[in-house]
Amino acid sequence: MNSLEKHLEKELELEIKKKLKKKEEMNSLEKLLEITKTFNKKLERSKQKEEQKDDRKGMPVYSGVLTYFPDALKEVAKCSLAGQKQHNQGDKLYWDKNKSFDNEDALVRHLIDHSKNPVDEDGVLHLAKVSWRALASLQIYLENR
């Protein structure tokens, strides 16, 4: 092998080493990028879990509703059962939202009727029906917003 061939061979070896080193660096960068992406995803999930936890703590359904109004909510439950027997077939409670679109009007009618006689003809308190209609109206609003 002459000197020119030796020189070219060394240059080729150097070029190959440079490319291999560059490839290794790229692989390292790609690995670092992948690790960073994974870390960011885990961090985002962790933040979302914290936000959900904060959201749940911001909705004290038991301590802020059930413990405040246990008797009133029992009356609303009786109202639901009476409505089930009147409007739907079967034993399972079911709210057919397609049967009534006048919750606010019905709410006011029951409020007016309460001032005349607190108990409706079916034995359910008008105020329980007012409450049921208010909850129905709120639920529909929240579902549609």
Q: What pTM value is reported for the model?
A: 0.63
Give me the mean pLDDT over the 26-33 stretch: 77
86-94 long-range contacts, Cβ below 8 Å, gap at least 24?
86/122
Give me the mean pLDDT over the 51-74 stretch: 88
Q: Which of 28-42, 55-69, 129-143 has the lowest mean pLDDT?
A: 28-42
Give me the mean pLDDT over the 3-14 stretch: 76
pLDDT value at 5 more than 80: no
The per-residue pLDDT for range 68-123, each reduced to its tens digit, is 999 999 999 999 999 988 887 777 888 888 888 999 999 999 999 999 999 999 99
Query: What pLDDT, on the 0 to 100 scale, is given for residue 19?
Result: 73
- How large is the greatest C-alpha to C-alpha distance in the chain, in angstroms? 118
